[in-house]
Amino acid sequence: MTNKKLVEEAPYHPGYEDVVIGDKDYKEGYLGDAIRFRMKREGKRFWAGDNISDYLHKGDKEILITEATEAFEAVLDRLLIDRENDPNSKGTARRLAKMYFNEIMGGRYDPAPDATAFPNDSADRYEGMLVVRSELRSMCSHHHQPVVGVAYIGIIAAEKLIGLSKYTRIAQWCARRGTLQEELCNDIAREIQKATGATDLGVYIQATHGCCENRGIMAHSSLTQTTVLKGAFKDDLGTKKEFMDNIKMQQEFSPR
């Protein structure tokens, strides 16, 4: 099956017309390859943890899902799984493709969640610490195994505030990619900084890793902790302690 027809039906893609068809690995007719080569040409990094939503147009995701379905069908064939007669394996290739694009890697293809900020600059502005607990589902980029855990995001309120659910939306948008926990911690800190303008903040993540539980070392109760601290969270021992104490209180309220 060729996807040429699908690509021709796709909306106009400015910038793709000069993709060099003769380039190594470029498969004519694949929208995914046209996008990939455009990113290469423009020096845009597209690692598993990078957001590439700027390079997608409306309707592209559906085409990319169809192209990935074809690729997953080939994987199932190579694994010698009878996807034609096994009722449980029929449609699995498409389910996998949809799951990658819409769920487990959705944060690569979707733009940042809208986090409208409200001013916090009146005389009785909130000046305290705010700690939000966000449940995370991520995936390690090495093994494509689930990473499951919680992030505790702490800030000292700056000149603007965002809605409480936005902290979790931002954290989940960062998590729904192929990541390393260390990078994820940095990504969440950077995006929260961008959305709130806060320069004093901390992000603590604790998570279990499928790649340690389901394969390799098979350690079923291991837990990985990472912490990123900025501004007062890093330099002021009192602030750091308040953040860590808040995390402990949150964990008593909800252990995992």
Q: Which residue, 3, 16, 101, is CA-closest to 61?
A: 101
Query: Using the rule CB under 5 A, which residue among 93, 140, 170, 205 binds Zn ion?
Result: 140
The residue among 41 and 142 lying less far from Zn ion, judged by its C-beta, is 142
User: Whole-angstrom Cα distance, residue 168 to residue 196?
Assistant: 13
The residue among 211 and 244 lying less far from Zn ion, judged by its C-beta, is 211
Shortest distance, position 216 Cβ to Zn ion, whole Å:
8
User: Whole-angstrom Cα distance, residue 176 to residue 107?
Assistant: 5
User: Whole-angstrom Cα distance, residue 164 to residue 250?
Assistant: 15
Q: Which residue, 49, 189, 187, 165, is CA-closest to 114?
A: 165
65 interacts with Zn ion by CB under 5 A: no
Please return the burial class of 212, using the count of CB atoms within 10 Å of its CB with bins 0-12, 13-18 and 19+.
buried
211 interacts with Zn ion by CB under 5 A: yes
180 interacts with Zn ion by CB under 5 A: no
Query: Using the rule CB under 5 A, which residue among 13, 83, 98, 143 binds Zn ion?
Result: 143
The residue among 140 and 175 lying less far from Zn ion, judged by its C-beta, is 140
Shortest distance, position 227 Cβ to Zn ion, whole Å:
20
Residue 130 per-residue DSSP state: E
Q: Which residue, 66, 89, 74, 96, is CA-closest to 5?
A: 66
Q: Which stretch binds Zn ion (CB under 5 A): 41-49, 62-70, 135-143, 226-234?
A: 135-143
In a 3-state reduction of DSSP, which class is residue 29? coil
The residue among 125 and 142 lying less far from Zn ion, judged by its C-beta, is 142
> Would you state the structure tokens that stand for residue 9, as one six-digit string?
């039906």
Residues 224 to 253 in contact with Zn ion, rule: CB under 5 A? none
Shortest distance, position 222 Cβ to Zn ion, whole Å:
12
142 interacts with Zn ion by CB under 5 A: yes
Q: Which stretch binds Zn ion (CB under 5 A): 47-55, 65-73, 133-141, 188-196?
A: 133-141
The residue among 132 and 140 lying less far from Zn ion, judged by its C-beta, is 140
The residue among 179 and 246 lying less far from Zn ion, judged by its C-beta, is 179
215 interacts with Zn ion by CB under 5 A: no
In the bound state, the residue with its beta carbon closest to Zn ion is 211
Termini Cα distance of the chain: 46
Q: At what angle do helices 31-41 and 60-78 cross, to 10 degrees?
A: 110
The residue among 157 and 180 lying less far from Zn ion, judged by its C-beta, is 180
Q: Which residue, 16, 6, 178, 29, is CA-closest to 101?
A: 178
Q: Where do contacts with Zn ion occur on this chain (CB under 5 A)? A: 140, 142-143, 211
